[in-house]
Amino acid sequence: MQRPVIKKTKNKGAQGLIGALCLFALPVVGVCAELFNYEQALAITLQRDPRILEKTHLTDVARAQEREVDGNEGLRLDFNSFLGLAPGVSGGLFTAPCSGTATCINRTDRYSLAQGISPWTYAQISVIKPLFTFGKIEHYREAAQGQTAVKMGDVRLQRGEIALEVAKAYYGHLAARDARAFLEEVRKTVASALEKVNRWLKDGSGEATQSDAYALQTGLALVDKFLAQTRGLEAVSLEGLRTLTGISEFVLADTRLQRVTLPSADIAALQARAIDKRPEFAQLEAGVKARRALVAANRAGHYPNVYVGIAAMLSYSPNRDRLDNPYITDSFNDYGGTPLIGLQWQWQPGVVSAKVAQAEGELNALIDKAALARQGIPFQVAEAYYQMRAAYEGSAKSEEGARAARRWMITAYADFDAGLEKPEKVLTALQGYVLAQTDYIQGAFEYNMAVVKLRQTVGDYE
């Protein structure tokens, strides 16, 4: 399967240097890694993910069942042939020549091998073409087509689930990377403040106390703990992207986590699109159609099949005299053929009625399920839409709070550095900055995931 073309970003700064190095094929490890954004990572994954391939193969099985039904409408060839042994026979119908007034005595050596044995060649062939089956083939074909449509819907549903997985790995990696870089910055600030407090305590300058040093040491330990957790999340999400895309070396096109564009469609338009695009609707319609066809096909089982064809047979033993008497048949030495029209009927009223009842029950269940889907899916769209809007508005406020907290932290540290503020004020400002910034990163991640979830809920899987 061919991989989609991965677009390279424009040569700007480090990205331009990477492009130049790749262009001249310099032996730099990791420089020429593939570069992709979320949409491109998703396209790569959708082409190679084994779960989609599995669902696609099951669709191929359903299409093969359609061809099997079509084959039942065509010619059917039955052929049987073997090579065996038969008693050898010669000398006519009677024990002795029968002429004039001589008594004619019928022979009784039918199973005797006194005249040896003869090779026996037998072949039987029939070619049958159904003429009329009271709708059996037509209804089974319709049911098979419905099954194919259901399997195709399974492929689309799997694509939607994979889109969520790729988004979680991609945006999760960006979030973890941003959080790690942010915490490393905070750690430098805390470590610098702790170093300054320790120096003040040592030389007696400033107004720091040992309690301030302990507080900063506590803050530094907490930052180190969060850094370890963040690095773990960053590594896990990176491995997830490698597993999903099948690419071991790559570079994300996004340098930091940013909120994606807010969808402009209103909720009514999204609900209408979901009814039109969600594969569950197509699956239910195809399933109802298939079940109705199965009910009709099972009912047609009460009736026979009418067919036409040709049947012929050849049985030949060279060491047996041939009899041409039209009233005597020699199964070891005979041939014949005839065109025919026939009626094939296997009637099991109890079994047929049970199959009809079973198919009708499954049909009624699908009809009720379809009614439930038409009620539930619009609610799912509304739920995803309002959750996305809430995540968008919340992340916007978190961004404002993170900016303000950063200014607070910078101002507090500047005052502390100038000896105008106590260390505890710096620690409080750093704590507020950490909470606000991590809340913003978490909010941006949740908003991006809410947008992807809304797309999945609407049925935009491509």
**Within-domain flag for 150:** yes
**Within-domain flag for 98:** no
| Distance of alpha carbon 37 from alpha carbon 230, whole angstroms | 22
Lowest mean pLDDT: which of 273-277, 388-392, 401-405? Answer: 273-277
In the structure, what pLDDT confidence band is assigned to residue 107 with cuts at 50, 70 and 90?
Answer: confident
Q: By C-alpha distance, which of 287, 276, 316, 341 is closest to 152? A: 287
340 and 354 belong to one structural domain: no
Residue 250 predicted with pLDDT over 90: no
Question: Where among 293, 321, 344 does a domain terminate?
Answer: 344
pLDDT tens across 376-392, in order? 788 889 999 999 999 99
Which pLDDT score, from 0 to 100, does residue 203 have? 82
How distant, in Å, are the alpha carbons of 20, 228, 236, 237, 255 from that of 240? 29, 18, 6, 5, 18
238 and 281 belong to one structural domain: yes
Q: What is the mean pLDDT of residues 436-441?
A: 92
Which pLDDT score, from 0 to 100, does residue 11 have? 40
In the structure, what pLDDT confidence band is assigned to residue 418 with cuts at 50, 70 and 90?
Answer: confident
Name the average pLDDT for the chain.
81
| Distance of alpha carbon 222 from alpha carbon 33, whole angstroms | 35
Q: How far is CA 438 from the centre of its chain?
A: 35
407 and 432 belong to one structural domain: yes
In the structure, what pLDDT confidence band is assigned to residue 461 with cuts at 50, 70 and 90?
Answer: low
Residue 13 predicted with pLDDT over 60: no
Q: Does residue 72 or residue 120 have the better pLDDT?
A: 120
- Facing residues of 247 across strands? none
Q: What is the mean pLDDT of residues 62-91?
A: 85
* Distant-in-sequence, close-in-space partners of 6: CB < 8 Å, separation ≥ 6: 34, 35, 36, 40, 44
| Distance of alpha carbon 313 from alpha carbon 408, whole angstroms | 101
289 and 309 belong to one structural domain: no
Question: Where among 344, 368, 395 does a domain terminate?
Answer: 344
224 and 285 belong to one structural domain: yes
Structure token digits, residue 181: 């870089």
207 and 312 belong to one structural domain: no
385 and 406 belong to one structural domain: yes
**Within-domain flag for 331:** yes
Percent pLDDT > 90 in the chain is 22
C-alpha angle with apex 184: 179 to 190, nearest 5 degrees? 120
Q: By C-alpha distance, which of 165, 163, 162, 158 is closest to 237? A: 165
Q: Does residue 144 or residue 21 have the better pLDDT?
A: 144
142 and 277 belong to one structural domain: yes
Residue 200 predicted with pLDDT over 60: yes
Q: What is the mean pLDDT of residues 161-188?
A: 91
Lowest mean pLDDT: which of 268-277, 298-307, 436-445? Answer: 298-307
Helices 50-72 and 136-203 meet at what angle, rounded to 10?
180
**Within-domain flag for 196:** yes
**Within-domain flag for 102:** no
In the structure, what pLDDT confidence band is assigned to residue 416 with cuts at 50, 70 and 90?
Answer: confident
| Distance of alpha carbon 407 from alpha carbon 27, whole angstroms | 44
406 and 280 belong to one structural domain: yes
**Within-domain flag for 388:** yes
Residue 327 predicted with pLDDT over 80: no
Most distant CA atoms of the chain, gap in Å? 156
Residue at token pair 């009626």: 343
Q: By C-alpha distance, which of 167, 43, 165 is closest to 448? A: 167
Percent pLDDT > 70 in the chain is 84
- Domain of 232: which CATH number? 1.20.1600.10
Q: By C-alpha distance, which of 180, 350, 252 is closest to 36? A: 252
Lowest mean pLDDT: which of 17-31, 357-371, 436-450? Answer: 17-31
Amino acid at 7: K
Domain that residue 329 falls in: 74-91+113-132+305-344
Which pLDDT score, from 0 to 100, does residue 236 have? 94
How distant, in Å, are the alpha carbons of 78, 79, 81, 126 from that of 334? 19, 17, 14, 16
**Within-domain flag for 14:** no
In the structure, what pLDDT confidence band is assigned to residue 194 with cuts at 50, 70 and 90?
Answer: confident
Q: What is the mean pLDDT of residues 178-189?
A: 90
Which pLDDT score, from 0 to 100, does residue 108 have? 77
Q: What is the mean pLDDT of residues 66-70?
A: 81
Which pLDDT score, from 0 to 100, does residue 110 have? 77
316 and 197 belong to one structural domain: no
Lowest mean pLDDT: which of 23-32, 97-106, 160-169? Answer: 23-32
Residue 7 predicted with pLDDT over 60: no
Lowest mean pLDDT: which of 283-287, 317-321, 393-397? Answer: 283-287
Residue 88 predicted with pLDDT over 70: yes
167 and 280 belong to one structural domain: yes
Q: What is the mean pLDDT of residues 391-404?
A: 92
SS (H, E, C) the chain: CCCCCCCCCCCCCHHHHHHHHHHCCCCCCCCCCEEECHHHHHHHHHHHCHHHHHHHHHHHHHHHHHHHHHHHCCCEEEEEEEEEEEECECCCCECCCCCCCCCCCECCCCCCCCCCEEEEEEEEEEEEEEEECCCHHHHHHHHHHHHHHHHHHHHHHHHHHHHHHHHHHHHHHHHHHHHHHHHHHHHHHHHHHHHHHHHHHHHCCCCCCHHHHHHHHHHHHHHHHHHHHHHHHHHHHHHHHHHHHCCCCEEECCCCCCCCCCCCCCHHHHHHHHHHHCHHHHHHHHHHHHHHHHHHHHHHCCCCEEEEEEEEEEEECCCECCCCCCCCCCCCCEEEEEEEEEEECCCCHHHHHHHHHHHHHHHHHHHHHHHHHHHHHHHHHHHHHHHHHHHHHHHHHHHHHHHHHHHHHHHHHHHHHCCCCCHHHHHHHHHHHHHHHHHHHHHHHHHHHHHHHHHHHHCCCC
Amino acid at 100: G
Which pLDDT score, from 0 to 100, does residue 23 have? 43
Q: Does residue 308 or residue 90 have the better pLDDT?
A: 308
Which pLDDT score, from 0 to 100, does residue 358 have? 65
Question: Where among 344, 364, 398 does a domain terminate?
Answer: 344
Q: What is the mean pLDDT of residues 263-285?
A: 83
Total domains, the chain: 2
Q: What is the mean pLDDT of residues 350-379?
A: 66
256 and 353 belong to one structural domain: yes
- Facing residues of 127 across strands? 77, 310
**Within-domain flag for 287:** yes
State the CB neighbour count (10 A cutoff) for residue 333. 20
